[in-house]
Amino acid sequence: QVQLVESGGGLVQPGGSLRLSCAASGSIFSFNAMGWYRQAPGKQRELVAEITRGGSTNYADSVKGRFTISRDNAKNTLYLQMNSLNPEDTAIYYCNARRQVTDYWGQGTQVTVSS
């Protein structure tokens, strides 16, 4: 069974940084793509960043230049480095992995950006 476990969320000041981690139960090579999504209260879940098996990346316009998605294949872990955080980044962040037509989700980790 595929398990994705996020960590690294928390409370941070505007302009600060956080690094989210997503530990996968199996080899991340088995996934066609992995990504980070977020959902703020009262809003739909949105794509933040994604990376394909081949290494191509895609970012939401709102986070370009501030967030960086990366992976460590040896550790089977996906990362999201978040810099220059602002209150609009406050949300629950979810790790996603896709294998063929099946999507897998982590439990989410809360990120709160506030003075």
Can you tell me whether residue 58 is helix, strand or coil?
strand
Whose CA is closest to 49, among 106, 101, 38? 38
Sheet containing 67-72: order of strands: 4-7, 18-24, 77-82, 67-72
Per-residue pLDDT of the chain (115 residues; tens, 9 = 90+): 789 999 999 999 999 999 999 999 988 888 999 999 999 999 999 999 999 999 999 999 999 999 999 999 999 999 999 999 999 999 999 999 999 899 999 999 999 999 9
Whose CA is closest to 110, among 95, 91, 96? 91
Contact present, 114 and 90 (Cβ < 8 Å): yes
